[in-house]
């Protein structure tokens, strides 16, 4: 009974990690797209950076 519970727990942990990693990939892609849009649409009279830091 204990090995079965350990296997089920491992499956739940791996499923949760896989979902979280896939969600993080989508967040990273969205941030990359926003950064590229900001880089392309930056003001022409600035020093080349569209962010202030």
d(CA 51, CA 53): 6
d(CA 3, CA 35): 47
User: Over the Cα atoms of the chain, what is R_g?
Assistant: 21
- Comparing CA positions, the residue from 51, 18, 19, 13 lying closest to residue 35 is 51
Query: Is residue 53 situated within a structural domain?
Result: no
Q: What ranges in the chain are assigned the alpha helix state H?
A: 2-40
DSSP single-letter state for residue 48: S
Question: What is the domain extent for residue 36?
Answer: 1-41
Task: Give the mean pLDDT of 23-44.
Answer: 82
Domain count, the chain: 1
pTM: 0.57
- Residue 48 pLDDT greater than 60, yes or no: no
pLDDT in the model for residue 2: 80
- Residue 40 pLDDT greater than 70, yes or no: yes
pLDDT in the model for residue 30: 92
Residue linked to tokens 């519970």:
5
């Amino acid at each position: 009974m204990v090995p079965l519970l350990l296997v089920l727990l491992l499956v739940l942990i791996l499923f949760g990690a896989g979902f979280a990693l896939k969600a993080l990939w989508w967040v990273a892609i969205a941030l990359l797209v926003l950064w590229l849009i900001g880089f392309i649409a930056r003001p022409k009279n600035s020093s080349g950076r569209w962010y202030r830091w």
